[in-house]
């Protein structure tokens, strides 16, 4: 059963599947477990600060999948900006080799709200081993 969140003037559940890639589709996370784990930690920090919940996170060598439950006070673009902005700043400070790219992430992203399909289907898709 779905557990809805209660807000001051609303009740609901907003979950979005986000996908984005590093600048120039570089495989910046290829064989870089240290970079992947730090990126995941930054995403968790952002989520905790905003009171969002990351249901699933996959950081592949050349893209990121994030299934996040967020509050209705934020738009999808604000959610993406929070994750991409903080992670880019922190990772480029801590891993200077990333400064060779003009930016860590492209401006683009893909998203799909999970209203049309079940969250379980999105979880299965993200956890499918075809990503690498």
What's the CATH fold of domain 5-127? Alpha-Beta Plaits (3.30.70)
Segment holding 37, helix H or strand E? helix 33-50
Which tokens is 117 given?
A: 């399909």
Which tokens is 45 given?
A: 């920090």
Query: What share of residues in the chain are helix, strand, coil (percent, to 5)?
Result: 40, 25, 35
Average pLDDT over residues 2-13: 78
pTM, to two decimals: 0.84
CA distances from 117 to 16, 90, 104, 105, 113 (A): 11, 34, 31, 28, 8
Confidence of residue 1 (pLDDT cuts 50, 70, 90): low
Domain layout of the chain by residue ranges = 5-127
Q: What is the distance between the alpha carbons of residues 108 and 23, in angstroms, rounded to a whole number? A: 10
Which tokens is 107 given?
A: 């401006």
pLDDT digit string, tens, across residues 28-54: 999 999 999 999 999 999 999 999 999
Q: What is the distance between the alpha carbons of residues 123 and 132, in angstroms, rounded to a whole number? A: 16
> First-to-last CA distance in the chain?
32
pLDDT digit string, tens, across residues 49-73: 999 999 999 999 999 999 999 988 8
* 83-84-87-91 Cα dihedral, nearest 10 degrees: 170
């Amino acid at each position: 059963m779905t557990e809805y969140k209660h807000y001051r003037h609303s009740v609901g559940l907003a979950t979005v599947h986000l996908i984005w890639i590093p600048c120039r589709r570089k495989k910046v996370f290829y064989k870089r477990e240290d970079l992947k784990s730090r990126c995941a930690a930054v995403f968790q920090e952002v989520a905790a600060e905003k009171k969002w919940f990351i249901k699933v996170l996959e950081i592949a060598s050349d893209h990121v999948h994030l299934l996040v439950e967020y509050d209705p006070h934020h738009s999808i673009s604000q959610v993406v900006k929070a994750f991409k902005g903080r992670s880019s700043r922190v990772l480029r400070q801590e891993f200077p080799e990333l400064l060779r790219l003009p930016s860590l992430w492209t401006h683009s992203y893909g998203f799909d709200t999970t209203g049309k399909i079940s969250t379980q289907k999105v979880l299965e898709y993200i956890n499918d081993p075809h990503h690498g």
